[in-house]
Structure 1
Amino acid sequence: MPGLLFPSAVLKESDLNSMEKTDRKKAKNLGKDFICRLQSIFPSPAPTADSSKLSKLNTEEALLWSQSLEKLLQSKYGLPVFQTFLRSEFSEENIEFWLTCEDFKKIKSTSKQASRAKKIYEQFIQAESPREINIDHHTREAIRLNVQEPTMSCFDQAQKIVYGLMERDSYPRFLRSEIYLTLSGKIQPNQVKG
């Protein structure tokens, strides 16, 4: 049966080692690209006498992000860094939904609320939607009914589920990522495990 999986030849150990080196090189380049993107989002200040204090503050702030997802999301710099990280993993729909729900709760006008609820449903909740979030069928169905006459809390259950998913999955990966380890001073910018 191995011939069905590898019709031309069986992979040799040297081929596997070569593939591993290529994967490490890609990971290293991805890390460098990610750091460059972050530097464009948060340009370094002009050198001053207080530059070392500023860089220490950023490191201290990054270290605070490891205390909880809530602290990360409340941080002026933590939230965009986390969003950039999720974009790099093609998994930004959860944070986008969570932030959209936070904005939705601020809407006072019932007509604007109804219009926005419908858009949120179509974008994130409806099956096969462009940014469909991972929630159970019962929650999805309850939201479908609630959107008919939306209230500020019509997305609360889904938002709670999504927050839990980020807290258990995306957030721990973020804390192990090269970008977080670099920003928190735990590794040097171009230091890659391998």
Structure 2
Amino acid sequence: MPGLVASQSRELQQLNTNTENKKMSKDRGGNLTSRLQSRSSQSTKTDGLCFEEMSQWSDSLERLLSSKYGMKIFQAFLKTEYSDENIEFWLVCEDYKKIKSSFRMSSKAKKIFKLYIQAEAPKEINIDHKTREVIRNNINAPTTVCFNDAQRIVYELMEKDSYPRFLKSDIYQALMDSTSESVKL
């Protein structure tokens, strides 16, 4: 995973350098202080990702998942732990809740069940037998809430298990270090 962090950091640095060079060429007569301030403000926010946003990821899993970048980085972390089925299931459930057509809902519910819920499913999530059976019965006449219990279980599992490890992970620490260094400039 350090390769992902390094490549993202290099991309951010290259973007900052290109932007800085364009600005410097426009006002070559500017003093050193204004150029450093300009560079610092560019470094703290690049392409929507900034130190402030990343530091808020440690407030809660909800805050992390509400961030486009946080979601992607958390997904990458879960892949390294071979538990990315949890976030995938959670995301699929979020999309499922938005379905309006009963035909589409029925079709999607069966796909979700086969992929994540049924015993020995390719991406089987860790839920209890009772919840699994309730869902099995509910997909015959699915509603927008038929996966809510399983989604809550998976969320709580991520919140109590994966999320604390993510905050201590090399990927998160490296990102925080690289963006906090940019803020210091």
TM over 0.5: yes
Report the alpha carbon displacement of residue 99 of structure 1 after superposing the two structures with TM: 0.1
SS of match in other structure, 2:68: coil
1:92 aligned onto 2:84: yes
Which blocks of at least 5 consecutive residues in structure 1 are unaligned? 1-30, 190-194
Q: Partner of 2:26 in structure 1?
A: none
Q: Partner of 2:156 in structure 1?
A: 164
- What is the alpha-carbon distance in structure 2 between the residues aligned to residue 104 and residue 145 of structure 1? 17
**Percent identity of paired positions between Structure 1 and Structure 2:** 54
Return the structure number with greater helix share.
2
Equivalent in 136, 140, 143 of residue 144 of structure 1: 136
Deviates more, 1:46-55 or 1:151-160: 46-55
Q: Partner of 2:173 in structure 1?
A: 181
- What is the alpha-carbon distance in structure 2 between the residues aligned to residue 76 and residue 152 of structure 1? 24
- What is the alpha-carbon distance in structure 1 between the residues aligned to residue 146 and residue 102 of structure 2? 13
SS of match in other structure, 1:128: coil
TM-score by length of 2: 0.78
Equivalent in 43, 48, 54 of residue 55 of structure 1: 43
- What is the alpha-carbon distance in structure 1 between the residues aligned to residue 87 and residue 163 of structure 2? 11
**Which one-letter code corresponds to 2:145 in the other structure?**
S
Higher relative contact order (CA 8 A, sep 6+): 2
List, as ranges, runs of 4+ consecutive aligned residues in structure 1 with deviation greater than 6 Å: 186-189
Q: Output one character per residue of 1:120-159: Cα deviation in whole Å (capped at 9) or x when no partner.
A: 0000000000000000000000000001110000000000
| Counterpart contact for 2:16–2:43, Cα < 8 Å | no
1:43 aligned onto 2:31: no
- What is the alpha-carbon distance in structure 1 between the residues aligned to residue 146 and residue 61 of structure 2? 23
Deviates more, 1:128-137 or 1:46-55: 46-55
Q: Output one character per residue of 1:75-126: Cα deviation in whole Å (capped at 9) or x when no partner.
A: 1210000001111111100000000000000000000000000000000000
1:67 aligned onto 2:37: no
Q: How many residues align?
A: 157
SS of match in other structure, 2:11: coil
| Counterpart contact for 1:60–1:184, Cα < 8 Å | no
